Amino acid sequence: MMKYEPPLEKISVNIRETVVGHGEKALKIGGENTLPFHFFEGSLPNPPGLALEILDTEPENWAPSVLEPFEDVVSDPVKWAKKCVEVFGAEMLCLRLLSADPMGKNGSAEEAAEITKIVADAVDVPLIVWGTDMEEKDAQVLTQVARACSGKNLLLAPLVKGNYEEIAKAAMEHGHAIVAQASMDANLTKELNIALCKFFPPEKIVIDPTASALGYGLEYTFSIIEEIKQFGLADKDKMMQMPILCDFGGDCWRTKEAKENREQGILWEAITGITFILAGANLLILRHPEALKLIKEMVV
């Protein structure tokens, strides 16, 4: 009989460890030197970070089953934030600055920074601050936010090719981490990281490959994350060793499958999330507290 030797693969490099937030509740993500859940051949010092998202504006068109848990607090981002932490056990939050969206209310960068400061002061968990997804506006909004919340070590997102310089400089000056976003392409991810690392500390960068929901492009996100992790760990590419973030709650709850049934919706988001963790994601932004709870039970 042939003898079986477990084909273990030891990797000599680590994904960088990034700290978000400050004080006791600061969270570390990344730091692993192996693939997700591969405790049998490497170390994964930090479980995947799981953030719940809140908006600075009352949400429109949210499916009833995802609005329901927040119904009593959506008009007030501070109450919303506190409920996520105190009732739903969120260890991290993502504040989305919809109010500043040029295609919507188009509020000023100063106002957005002000509301961010109020939320950041009201809770002690780490905060991801998500801009408007419009390059130029985000350059104004996120630099203002960086200044207003100096020292809080926020995670500012998203920085893209067209605006990373201004925002990263402000983040560095005021002690924040950043999310470098490049859409579904490992080469673009690497290019952006190289550009950032010329002046920005690599351990404060998180990669966002942009994520798609189950049934709506999930496989692209899944494979791009696996590819980036292989570059980072197997090929030891230092520019691919940053932790990876996935933001997909909104995309999931926009699908007709999530809207038509509550349980199906929760599973839609939770399965999307666990699939990205299996690919190598280090930080998820989730919308439904039940999806958060479920993923936590399975992976932490």
Secondary structure (DSSP) of 211-234: ---TTTTHHHHHHHHHHHHIIIII
Q: Please report, for residues 126, 140, 161, 231, the alpha-carbon distance to residue 189 in angstroms, rounded to integers and kept in the order given.
A: 25, 23, 10, 11
10, 12, 61, 300: which one binds other proteins (CB under 8 A): 61
Candidate ranges 23-31, 32-40, 71-79, 87-95; the one touching other proteins (CB under 8 A): 32-40
Helix H or strand E encompassing 128: strand 127-130
Nearer to other proteins, 41 or 203 (CB): 41
Per-residue binding string, other proteins, 228-257, x by CB under 8 A, is --x-----------------------x-xx
Work out whether 184 is an interface residue with other proteins (CB under 8 A).
yes
What is d(CA 226, CA 235) in angstroms, rounded to the nearest whole number?
13
19, 215, 237, 238: which one binds other proteins (CB under 8 A): 215
Residues 259-288 that bind other proteins (CB under 8 A): 259, 261, 263-264, 266-268, 270-271, 274-275, 278
Per-residue binding string, other proteins, 62-101, x by CB under 8 A, is ----------------------------------------
Candidate ranges 10-18, 30-38, 81-89, 91-99; the one touching other proteins (CB under 8 A): 30-38
Q: Please report, for residues 9, 47, 75, 131, the alpha-carbon distance to residue 202 in angstroms, rounded to integers and kept in the order given.
A: 26, 20, 37, 21
CB-based contacts of 135-139 (< 8 A; 24+ apart in sequence): 135/160, 135/162, 135/163, 136/162, 136/163, 137/100, 137/101, 137/102, 137/109, 138/163, 138/167, 139/163, 139/166, 139/167
Per-residue binding string, other proteins, 40-59, x by CB under 8 A, is x-------------------
What is d(CA 244, CA 65) in angstroms, rounded to the nearest whole number?
28
Residue ranges binding other proteins (CB under 8 A): 1-2, 4-9, 35, 37-40, 61, 102-103, 133-135, 182-185, 188, 210, 212, 214-220, 222-224, 226-227, 230, 254, 256-257, 259, 261, 263-264, 266-268, 270-271, 274-275, 278, 294-295, 297-298
